[in-house]
A and B are shown apart, each in its own frame.
Chain A
Amino acid sequence: MELFSNANDFLLWVRGDAFNIALGLFIIGVLVRILEIFLLGRKKDFSEARGTQWGPGLRNIVSRSVVDNGTFKRAPFVVVVGYIWHICFFIVLFLFIPHIELINALLGIQWPGLASQLVDAATVVAMVSLVAMLWHRLTHPVLKFLSTYEDYVVWFVTFLPLLTGYMAFHRMIDPYPLALGLHILSVELLMVIFPFTKLMHAFTLFIARWYTGAMMGRKGIVS
């Protein structure tokens, strides 16, 4: 028996049951990972505090986004391409009107979007920067040695939504319901894999940066 009688059936499943499953696994995974971190707790610090924790912790979340000179000198490629990738990715994710509609439906918040040609350009830059990152990983001997299977899986599931989204927008797959369905499915794959891989950095980076800043603040060091 055929699984789907036509592309519209496939799109309906992807927008319906499949999305619910992916959203469910994403939420469960993220909550489990974050609760695990918080519930593990911190050792009691008996030393006398020299400064506050919250202020420096929050400041560190922001200030660590500015590249320090040492890091840039050591790995200029990673810094520059990393920034380009993340900025373009955020443009695509958060400023494309259909994506804003999705966020509005899920969370009830919305903001103005960008013209689709600009989002289209950002998609291309994001894809090129991802490919450049992969090339760098494969050619840099140390990076290649350190890379695990997971790194390549994460690259793939991140690249796929961009590629399918680009192909859907430009109608390179026929018919369109199939193209849109594949795009949404690739995002669902990303959502399912997200909590159990390094992609969790999107959440944990705030915890880690806050903790570093708070520790330094308590010791009275400028974070």
Chain B
Amino acid sequence: MNKKTLFESLQQQGITRRGFMKYCTALTSLMALPPSMIPMVANALETAKRPSVIWLSFQECTGCAESLLRSHSPTVEGLIFDHISLDYQHTLQVAAGDAAEHAREQAMKEHHGKYLVVVDGSIPLADPGYSTIAGISNLDMLNETIEGAAAVVAVGTCSAFGGLPQAAPNPTGAVSVSSLVKDKPVINVPGCPPIPTVITGVLAHYLTFGSIPELDNLGRPKVFYGQSIHDRCYRRPFYDKGLFAETFDDEGAKKGWCLYRLGCKGPMTYNACATLKWNQQTSWPVESGHGCLGCSEPNFWDAGSFYKALSIPDGDYAKAAGYAVAAGVAVGAAAGFANQKNKANAVSQHTKVTVDDFGENKDK
């Protein structure tokens, strides 16, 4: 393990003290902490020893790892990530073969009770053979690795909620990390992929406070997943004014109007895309003209068409309506004719009242 502190290794990469403080300020505000906490964040990051991180990749597409690891320019976030002690990442270490597995075992032994486990990808339960690493099933490797972990970070929607592998009909019996790990804190960092700044933010929080951030009811850090895309969207004023793009190339789309009618899932999606943006704050899906897919929410693959407005029912309602019309006509006709028959019976059985039914004549 590298004994240098985080700040020392940042300095080595040419990050100035000023740049570092700027980063700490941004990070502090990102984590929704008061400005008075900036020195504390800086101090914690300066003195923090690089934590050991074991990265487990299960049923995933490597998109999450790409998002987090492949930074072309050395951003501060990228360096923070580079300078944790990433002791195991089999996608990156694939050529190392057996030695990689030993590195994992060694890290687990040396940092028992202190290391972080990052998981991307879901775990297949239908048959362990669907996904194995070095002959070890995903489930076995997860159970073995989290045993001495301080916390587990589920990166990406697959590990946080099951994601694409879990989409109907879920052939591999894929499950999320949180459905298996009950005795360790699990931080869900969903997204397909998640924003790189969010994962470094979560790690920075852990470095600063030695604890996990406050989570919402789906296990997501509230600082990043506390507000919906819709509430922070720069196109929100158009929604409120009732100005919508009807197609992807009409006047409304060109003027940047709201994409709700084109199926934007922003109102039900909690993520930080609208504020943090992507690719060094260049843009984000809605800004580039496409509605939000809701990728940081559970079941987003099975939540109906990406291009249908959120208020539209998802099932085969035309078929249901067709059957209902047929049934309604049949039952209505039957009831109508029964009523007619009732009425006819009542008329035919009606006995007329005569003068004999009254008064003195009654008993005669």
Contacts and interface: CB of A to CB of B under 8 A. Distances in A.
Interface stretch (A51-59, A105-113, A122-130, A131-139): A105-113
A24 B323 contact: yes
A102 B268 contact: no
B228 A12 contact: no
A145 to B, nearest CB: 31
A99 B331 contact: no
Interface residues of B, number: 49
Contact of B337 (A5, A32, A39, A101): A39
A8 B303 contact: yes
B315 A34 contact: no
Interface string B7-41: 00000000000000000000000000000000000
Decide if the interface of chain B is mainly helix, strand, loop or mixed. Answer: helix
B267 A176 contact: yes
Nearest to A17: B315
A8 B297 contact: yes
Interface in A1-49: 5-6, 8-9, 11-12, 15-17, 19-21, 23-36, 38-41
Contact of A30 (B231, B261, B328): B328
A41 B329 contact: no
Interface in B104-161: none
Interface in A113-154: 113-117
Nearest to B297: A8
B244 to A, nearest CB: 7
A76 interface: no
A15 B304 contact: yes
A31 B332 contact: yes
A8 B217 CA distance: 12
A116 B343 CA distance: 52
Interface string A84-118: 00000000000001110110011000001111110
A180 interface: yes
Contacts of A23: 313, 317, 320-321, 324
A6 B336 CA distance: 45
A180 B268 contact: yes
A8 B242 contact: no
A97 B299 contact: no
A117 B240 contact: yes
A12 B304 CA distance: 8
Interface size class of A (residues with CB under 8 A): 35 or more
Interface in B212-231: 216-218, 228, 231
Interface string B326-364: 011101110111011001000000000000000000000
B228 A39 contact: no
A171 interface: yes
Contacts of A24: 320-321, 323-324, 327
A20 B316 contact: yes
A13 B309 CA distance: 16
Decide if the interface of chain A is mainly helix, strand, loop or mixed. Answer: helix
A32 B298 CA distance: 40
Contacts of A6: 218, 298-299
Contacts of A5: 298
A98 B302 CA distance: 21
B328 to A, nearest CB: 3
Interface string B255-267: 0000011000001
A32 B343 contact: no
Contact of B314 (A12, A177, A180): A12
B177 interface: no
Contacts of B267: 176, 180
A99 B324 CA distance: 22
A12 B298 CA distance: 11
24 contacts: A8-B300, A19-B315, A20-B316, A20-B320, A23-B317, A24-B321, A26-B324, A31-B325, A31-B329, A35-B332, A36-B332, A36-B335, A39-B340, A97-B244, A97-B260, A102-B313, A105-B309, A116-B242, A175-B217, A175-B218, A176-B228, A176-B268, A176-B270, A177-B268
